[in-house]
Each structure stands twice: as structure tokens, then as C-alpha cells.
């Protein structure tokens, strides 16, 4: 029987994990331990529902409801001094819980603090764009859409950014194949010449050092030139070498040493 | 898009729209002053830009995807290919992020060597920036001078790790090698001459009429625009925010060295140029201090280069070759990879271009579950959308120059 391989996560897996191994955790601390973060969290809690909050590696992580993201970020920018949105992207948890985790990495230069606002969204749920608050979100949200297929509400230019416009699939999803699918393999051929040209052009040679000595379409056979596309299987056909000059070339006289003259007298 | 008539000549570079007299100019992706694979679609009224649309992705290699399928140490050389002008700073950012995730403390000598490498990389990057920007604007001499100095630094790094461009000189948990014998002397020789060299560049450029005309008052980024667009590094400091992660959120031994953060409130190309020059002097200042710090570690006999954490880091070579348990542990770490604890971390570092951040989500496996690379150049390219309108075609070249974008980092 063939071994079952789940298709919802095709990423590389460790080939061996000890049966009794339990992964340790990065320690989480309570938000109340840090005065600055506690004040920020209180400000958010006043207006919005906070699902979870803790401090990990010196940065506060706040889980909010997805519909509140614009409001929370506006509050953080205007009232808490988090003036920069350093980074924004998503994590794919589709295989585990059918959700994406979107995070906003914020920086307050006045307080020298960084916090991360996070939220879970369903696979086809659109996210409110925060581009009006932070222009940097313009490009990072496009990248998030490009990589995960997360749709955006109110984005001025929701287009792919790194991949070509007509690309199929969302590269950073765990279901995306690692080896390049059929679409990727024939992308240039389909684009420039059309699908019908696939047979004519043939698959791409991924090994640049490979030379097929029986391939008379791509490689000349040095010393045994045969016509383009000539077919032969095992034996190398006899291809007598001949040079054009042997039978004389039109308009060019053959050089005869005996007829040549050495000019010694320049006034001759 | 070229669809219906395939393979028919198609002039996609220039389109005239007769109604509004707007010219659409396609700048790049192969333009020599586009610093890599930047394609800009510029809408022009006469010579003035009314709309700019940067198009990226020509160098996209999917590094974040690659990282999800590599063990942590395996990914280290890949980070070199991001900002390939200063590759050690990329290595360092990644190493630091993983160390924060694990909670590792790096030995002091390794920290000093790392700081040396980081500042050498900053100098290399700034010299490269100066050379190429001056060349774009037409100052060939500066290019030759600056590359001469950069060559010296590349030789220094080659002495250290054997590579000139893609160093992979930093490991998770420390550095692989101690510095070679002649390294400090050579570095000092270079540093002693550097002020003279910087003065040479400044003599050529500072009062140069052409340079000033192309730089002063061109590409002005107001503070709120810089903040909103996520600008960091010299781009932000030129716009009136004195923010340097080395100073504000110190990592390594940056809290022990004495240096200043040059900044300006002008926000134009010239301000950025001045900041790059001043930062080179500050880097030299830091490097002098790291030389003393290194000598101190020699005096105190602190010879360790890698952190001691058998669960994550291989033992020193000597132990591996002599002790059975170290060999077994090394074998497991190489074949299976280290397994950091479950959790996530975002670690920013001040790379020569700005804030280089690594976000790592670990699920306790040997491969990171998600790795997000926060490369400063990505937003420094994005800001061109808002920055270019109102400027003229020749300004595009000087503005791209001073944004100091590197496409290995933009596209990743």
C-alpha cells in the first residue's frame, strides 16, 4: 500500500523525532510586569475586546478581533505613540485550524517599545486595510495578498507585488508545492508562445551541464556533423569530413607557392 | 500586455496618450542606475513626474519559503544573498534572532568580533553607496577612490572568513573563527587613513556645484512621511528623527562603545549624503574601540568563540574529535538540526540600510514554521511612489541613489 501523505501541508518534515521529546516553550510573562505595556493594554481594552495579551522576548503581543484591526492601530498610533508599522504579514495555520494569523509589528520610538498586534482570520475572510494609517502597509499588505491570498478591504491597489500578475497559487501557503508545479514549469513558454508550443519547445533542461550526444536538435556533433534533427540510435554514422576549400571556392584562386614572387626591389 | 500578437515588435517602453499629453516612461528594470532590478513606471508631463509606480519582484527567490524548509544553520548562507553589499549584517540579524529565541548568551570575544565585522560591513556598504551614487550623478573619480578603500575592506574580510562578498561569517551562537594574526594591524592601518580618504571624497563633492544642484532640496522626505512609510536608518535620520537601534535598543556591546548618531532635519538628498559620510566616521570610531576591547579579551584570556549550549550548538572541533558524546551531539545537530523552543520573536538590528528585522515563529521543529524578513529597502523602494511625483527625470537617478536600495533585499 502506498504511504498516505497529507496534502494540506506539503512542507519538509523532520525525518526523525524522538518519541518522548517535548518541545520547550519560549517563556511568556504577564503584561502587568511592564508598566508601559500595561498602560498601552489598558488603553486598548477601554475601547476594544482583547482576546489575549502577554510579553514574550521583551515585546508585548496582543490578540484582537479581526474587525477591530483598523481601530486598534489608529488608537496605538494616535494615543499610545506607536508611530511606525515595521512589519505586517501572516502565518498559515490552515492545516491546523483553518485560519491565518495576521500580525502587525509596531514600534514606538518615544517609549522604545515594540508590540505585536495579532488576529486570526478565516481562509476567505478579508482584512481591513490599514494603509490609510500607515503608508508602509500599502506594500506589505500587497505582499501578504501576494504570498497568502488574503484579500483586503479598502486597499488602493490590491495587486500582486513580487510574483507576476497572472501567477496561480499563493507561494507561502503550506499547501504550495515545493517543486514548482506544471504551471510554473511552463510559465514562460505558455506566456510567450502559447500552450500549443509546449511540444515543439520541450521541457526545460534543469541540468545545464547535461549534453545528450544523440540530441541532434540542440547540439552539434563535433567531428561528426549530421543534418539538423537526423535520427540515429546506437552507432555513430560515418560522416566523412570534407572541407569546402578542397574543391575550390568560387572567385578565389588557390594559392600556389611556386607562382608567388618575393618583392625585394621596391621600385620594381 | 503583449498577448494577441505574439512575437510582434512591441514598443512597451514609451506610450503616448494623445488626449492628456501624458508620457508613460518605463524606467528599468535594466537601467544601470536602477541599482538592480527596479522597474519604475513614470507618468510624465513634459519632464516632470506626475505619477510613479515602482514595480519589483524581478529578483524574487522566495527566501521566506526556503527558510521554512531548511534547518536553521542551513539558512545562514542564504541570508548573505539579501543585502549582498553588507552580507555579515544579514547573517548577524538572523543569528541574533535565533539566539533570542533560544535564550543564548554569546561569549564576549565573539561579540567583539561580530561588532568588528558589522562595522566593517557598514563601512563597505557606505563606501559602495557613495561610489555608485556619485557615479550615477557623474562623478567618476569618487567611484574609483571609494572602491579602492572598499577593496581594502573586502581583503580584510577575506582574511577573516575567506569570502569577499557573501561572507557567512557569523554562526548562531558566536563566530566560527578567531581573527587572524595580522588583522588588527591591517584594520588599524586602514582606520588611520580613513579620515583622509573621507576628506578626499568630501573635497570632491561637498562644494561641487553640480553635486549640490543635484542633491540640495531634491527628494525631500518630511518626517511624518518617513515614519508612515516605515523608513529606517539613514533615510529616517535625514528626515529629523534621531533613531538608531544600536543606541536605542542596544545589542551586542554597543552600549559599551562611545559613538554619535548623525542626523539632520533637512530630509533631502544632500542631508542623506552628509549622514552617510558622518556615519563612516562613527563606524571608524567604534572600530577603534573594538580593537581595544579585543585586546582586553586577550588579556583576560577569554578565548571562547561559541556559546556553550549542547542542545543547540555543536561543541568545539577539538571536543568533537576527541569526545564521543560531543561527536554524537554534533552528528544529531548537523543531520537533524537544532530545535528551538516553541514561540516567536521579532529582532530588529541596525543594518547599514536601516532596520533589518527577523520574525521567527518556531513550532519546536528543526525548521522555522514562519520566517519573515523585514528588509529596510523594501519600504525605501515603496516610498518612491509618494516621493517622485513633482520631481524631474534626472532627479529620479539621484533619489534612487540616496535611498540606497539593494534588490536582493527588496525582493528577497
**CATH classification at residue B188:** 1.10.645.10
**Checking phi first, is residue B404 left (phi over 0); if not, alpha (psi -120 to 50) or beta?**
left
Q: How far is A163 from chain B (nearest CA, A)?
A: 6
Interface test with A, best of B41, B225, B379 (most A CBs within 10 A): B379
Q: Which of A8-12, A200-204, B7-11, B271-275 has the least mean pLDDT?
A: B7-11
Q: How far is A4 from chain B (nearest CA, A)?
A: 20
Residue B130 pLDDT grade (very low, low, confident, very high; cuts 50, 70, 90): very high
| Backbone φ, ψ for residue A70 (5° rounding) | -65, -45
| Inter-chain touch B370–A11, beta carbons under 8 Å | no
Residue-wise pLDDT tens digits, B330-375: 999 998 889 999 999 999 999 999 999 999 999 888 999 999 999 9
Which residue among A105, A138, A171 sits closest to B62, beta carbon to beta carbon?
A171
Residue-wise pLDDT tens digits, A81-127: 899 999 999 999 988 898 999 999 999 998 899 999 999 999 889 99
Task: Give the pLDDT confidence score for residue A197 in this predicted structure.
Answer: 87
Of B362, B326, B304, the C-alpha closest to B99 is B362
Task: Give the pLDDT confidence score for residue A234 in this predicted structure.
Answer: 62
Interface test with A, best of B9, B57, B104 (most A CBs within 10 A): B57
| Backbone φ, ψ for residue B74 (5° rounding) | -70, -30
| Strand partners of residue B248 | none
| In A173-262, alpha helices (H) | 182-185, 187-192, 198-201
Task: Please tell me what DSSP assigns to residue A67.
Answer: G
Closest-approach residue (CA) in chain B for A172: B65
| Inter-chain touch A16–B336, beta carbons under 8 Å | yes
Residue A21 pLDDT grade (very low, low, confident, very high; cuts 50, 70, 90): confident
Chain B residues in contact with A164 (beta carbon < 8 A) = 57
| Inter-chain touch B386–A135, beta carbons under 8 Å | yes
Contact A82, A46 (CB under 8 A): no
Neighbours of B259 (CB within 10 A): 18
The secondary structure element, H or E, covering residue B319 is helix B317-322
Q: Is the pLDDT of residue B122 over 90?
A: yes
Number of domains chain B contains: 1
Neighbours of B57 (CB within 10 A): 21
Q: Is the pLDDT of residue A184 over 70?
A: yes
Q: How many CB pairs under 8 A join A and B?
A: 126
Residues 6 or more apart from B398 whose CB is under 8 A from it?
B133, B136, B137, B214, B215, B218, B219, B269
Residue-wise pLDDT tens digits, A117-169: 999 999 889 999 999 999 999 999 999 999 999 999 989 888 889 988 888 78
Task: Give the pLDDT confidence score for residue B2 in this predicted structure.
Answer: 45
Interface test with B, best of A18, A61, A136 (most B CBs within 10 A): A136
Q: Is the pLDDT of residue B15 over 60?
A: no
Q: B74 touching A, CB under 8 A?
A: no
| Inter-chain touch A89–B359, beta carbons under 8 Å | yes
User: Helix axis angle, A35-47 relative to A69-78, nearest 10°?
Assistant: 130
Q: Which tops the pLDDT comparison, B387 or A166?
A: B387
C-alpha–C-alpha distance, residues A88 and A53, integer Å = 18
Parallel/antiparallel/unpaired status of strands A59-64 and A84-93: unpaired
Which residue among B7, B69, B374 sits closest to A12, beta carbon to beta carbon?
B69
Q: What is the pTM of this model?
A: 0.83
3-class SS letters over B248-261: HCCCCCCCCCCCCC
Of A213, A215, A214, the C-alpha closest to A202 is A215
Contact B349, B251 (CB under 8 A): yes
Domain ranges of chain A: 28-153
| Inter-chain touch A171–B65, beta carbons under 8 Å | yes
Give the distance from CA A143 to its chain's centroid: 10
Please give the residue range of the domain that contains residue B137. Answer: 63-374
**What average pLDDT does this structure show over B404-409?**
89
Residue B95 pLDDT grade (very low, low, confident, very high; cuts 50, 70, 90): very high
Task: Give the pLDDT confidence score for residue A164 in this predicted structure.
Answer: 85
Angle at B15 between CA B12 and CA B21, to 5 degrees: 170
C-alpha–C-alpha distance, residues B72 and A12, integer Å = 13
Task: Give the pLDDT confidence score for residue A232 in this predicted structure.
Answer: 67
Which residue among A14, A59, A164 sits closest to B346, beta carbon to beta carbon?
A59
Task: Give the pLDDT confidence score for residue B11 in this predicted structure.
Answer: 53
Residue-wise pLDDT tens digits, B318-331: 888 899 999 999 99
How confident is the prediction for chain B on average, in pLDDT? 88
C-alpha–C-alpha distance, residues B220 and B239, integer Å = 8
| Inter-chain touch B411–A193, beta carbons under 8 Å | no
Q: Which of A153-162, B7-16, B221-230, B251-260 has the least mean pLDDT?
A: B7-16
Residue B9 pLDDT grade (very low, low, confident, very high; cuts 50, 70, 90): very low
C-alpha–C-alpha distance, residues B287 and B282, integer Å = 9
Checking ipTM against 0.90, whether it exceeds it is no
Q: B319 touching A, CB under 8 A?
A: no
CATH class of A28-153: alpha beta
| Inter-chain touch A26–B348, beta carbons under 8 Å | no
Got the DSSP string for B104-164? ----HHHHHHHHHHHHHHHHHHHHHHHHHHHHHHT-HHHHHHHHHHHHHHHHHHHHHHS-S
| Inter-chain touch B60–A14, beta carbons under 8 Å | no
In a domain, B27, yes or no: no
Contact B269, B398 (CB under 8 A): yes
Contact B361, B368 (CB under 8 A): yes
Residue with cell 522555522: B368
Residues 361-390 in B contacting A (C-alpha not used; CB under 8 Å): 361-367, 369-370, 372, 374, 378-379, 382-383, 385-386
Report the greatest alpha carbon distance in chain A: 112
Residue-wise pLDDT tens digits, B177-212: 889 988 999 999 999 999 999 999 999 898 888 888
The C-alpha torsion from A7 through A10 and A14 to A19, rounded to 10°, is -20
C-alpha–C-alpha distance, residues B82 and B336, integer Å = 25
Q: How far is A42 from chain B (nearest CA, A)?
A: 23
Chain A residues in contact with B250 (beta carbon < 8 A) = none
Task: Please tell me what DSSP assigns to residue A259.
Answer: G
| Backbone φ, ψ for residue B269 (5° rounding) | -60, -40
Closest-approach residue (CA) in chain A for B97: A57
| Inter-chain touch A112–B249, beta carbons under 8 Å | yes
**What average pLDDT does this structure show over B221-229?**
91
Task: Give the pLDDT confidence score for residue B13 in this predicted structure.
Answer: 53
Of B111, B136, B110, the C-alpha closest to B32 is B136
**What average pLDDT does this structure show over B61-77?**
91
Q: How far is B230 from chain A (nearest CA, A)?
A: 5
In a domain, B384, yes or no: no
| Inter-chain touch A105–B225, beta carbons under 8 Å | no
Percent of residues, chain B, with pLDDT higher than 70: 95
Amino acid at each position: 500500500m502506498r504511504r498516505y501523505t497529507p496534502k494540506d501541508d506539503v512542507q519538509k518534515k523532520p525525518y526523525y523525532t524522538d518519541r518522548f521529546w517535548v518541545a520547550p516553550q519560549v517563556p511568556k510573562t504577564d503584561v502587568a510586569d511592564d508598566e508601559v505595556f500595561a498602560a498601552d493594554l489598558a488603553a486598548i481594552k477601554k475601547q476594544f475586546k482583547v482576546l489575549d495579551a502577554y510579553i514574550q522576548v521583551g515585546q508585548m503581543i496582543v490578540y484582537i478581533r479581526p474587525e477591530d484591526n483598523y481601530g486598534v492601530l489608529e488608537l496605538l498610533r494616535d494615543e499610545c505613540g506607536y508611530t511606525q508599522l515595521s512589519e505586517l504579514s501572516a502565518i498559515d495555520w490552515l492545516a491546523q485550524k483553518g485560519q491565518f494569523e495576521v500580525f502587525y509589528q509596531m514600534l514606538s520610538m518615544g517609549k522604545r517599545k515594540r508590540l505585536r498586534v495579532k488576529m486570526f482570520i478565516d481562509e476567505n475572510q478579508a482584512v481591513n486595510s490599514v494603509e490609510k494609517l500607515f503608508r508602509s502597509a500599502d506594500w506589505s499588505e500587497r505582499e501578504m495578498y501576494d504570498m497568502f491570498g488574503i484579500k483586503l478591504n479598502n486597499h488602493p491597489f490590491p495587486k500582486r507585488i513580487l510574483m507576476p500578475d497572472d501567477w496561480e497559487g499563493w507561494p507561502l501557503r503550506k499547501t504550495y508545492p515545493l517543486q514548482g508545479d506544471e504551471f510554473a514549469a511552463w510559465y514562460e513558454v505558455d506566456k510567450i508562445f502559447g500552450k500549443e508550443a509546449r511540444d515543439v519547445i520541450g521541457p526545460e533542461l534543469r541540468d545545464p551541464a547535461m549534453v545528450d550526444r544523440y540530441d541532434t536538435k540542440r547540439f552539434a556533433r563535433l567531428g561528426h556533423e549530421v543534418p539538423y534533427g537526423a535520427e540515429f540510435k546506437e552507432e555513430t554514422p560515418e560522416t566523412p569530413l570534407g572541407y569546402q576549400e578542397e574543391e575550390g571556392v568560387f572567385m578565389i584562386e588557390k594559392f600556389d607557392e611556386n607562382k608567388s614572387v618575393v618583392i625585394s626591389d621596391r621600385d620594381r | 500586455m503583449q498577448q494577441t500578437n505574439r512575437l510582434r515588435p512591441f514598443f512597451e517602453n514609451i506610450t503616448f496618450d494623445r488626449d492628456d499629453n501624458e508620457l508613460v516612461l518605463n524606467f528599468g528594470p535594466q537601467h544601470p542606475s536602477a541599482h538592480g532590478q527596479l522597474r519604475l513606471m513614470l507618468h510624465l508631463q513634459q519632464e516632470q513626474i506626475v505619477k510613479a509606480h515602482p514595480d519589483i519582484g524581478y529578483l524574487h527567490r522566495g527566501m521566506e519559503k526556503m527558510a521554512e524548509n531548511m534547518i536553521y544553520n542551513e539558512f545562514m548562507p542564504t541570508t548573505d544573498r539579501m543585502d549582498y553589499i553588507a552580507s555579515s549584517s544579514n547573517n548577524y540579524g538572523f543569528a541574533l534572532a535565533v539566539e533570542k529565541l533560544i535564550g543564548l548568551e554569546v561569549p564576549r570575544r565573539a561579540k567583539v568580533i561580530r561588532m568588528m565585522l558589522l562595522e566593517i560591513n557598514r563601512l563597505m556598504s557606505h563606501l559602495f553607496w557613495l561610489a555608485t551614487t556619485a557615479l550615477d550623478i557623474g562623478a567618476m573619480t569618487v567611484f574609483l577612490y571609494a572602491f579602492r578603500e572598499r577593496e581594502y575592506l573586502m581583503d580584510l574580510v577575506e582574511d577573516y572568513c575567506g569570502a569577499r562578498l557573501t561572507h557567512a561569517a557569523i554562526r548562531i551562537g558566536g563566530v566560527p573563527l578567531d581573527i587572524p594574526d595580522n588583522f588588527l594591524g591591517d584594520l588599524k592601518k586602514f582606520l588611520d587613513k580613513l579620515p583622509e580618504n573621507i576628506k578626499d571624497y568630501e573635497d570632491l563633492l561637498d562644494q561641487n556645484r553640480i553635486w549640490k544642484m543635484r542633491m540640495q532640496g531634491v527628494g525631500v522626505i518630511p518626517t511624518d512621511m518617513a515614519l508612515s512609510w516605515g523608513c529606517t536608518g539613514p533615510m529616517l535620520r535625514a528626515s529629523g528623527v534621531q533613531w538608531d537601534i544600536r543606541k536605542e535598543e542596544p545589542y551586542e556591546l554597543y552600549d559599551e562603545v562611545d559613538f554619535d548618531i548623525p542626523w539632520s532635519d533637512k530630509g533631502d538628498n544632500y542631508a542623506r549624503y552628509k549622514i552617510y559620510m558622518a556615519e563612516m566616521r562613527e563606524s571608524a570610531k567604534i572600530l577603534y574601540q573594538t580593537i581595544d576591547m579585543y585586546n582586553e579579551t586577550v588579556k583576560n584570556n577569554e578565548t571562547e568563540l561559541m556559546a556553550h549550549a549542547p542542545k543547540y550548538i555543536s561543541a568545539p572541533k577539538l571536543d568533537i574529535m576527541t569526545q564521543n558524546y560531543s561527536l554524537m551531539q554534533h552528528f544529531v545537530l548537523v543531520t537533524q538540526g537544532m530545535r528551538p523552543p516553541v514561540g516567536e520573536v521579532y529582532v530588529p538590528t541596525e543594518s547599514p540600510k536601516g532596520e533589518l528585522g527577523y520574525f521567527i515563529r518556531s513550532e519546536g521543529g528543526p525548521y522555522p514554521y514562519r520566517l519573515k524578513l523585514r528588509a529596510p529597502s523594501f519600504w525605501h523602494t515603496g516610498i518612491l511612489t509618494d516621493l517622485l511625483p513633482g520631481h524631474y527625470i534626472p532627479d529620479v537617478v539621484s533619489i534612487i541613489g540616496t535611498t540606497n536600495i539593494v534588490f536582493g533585499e527588496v525582493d528577497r
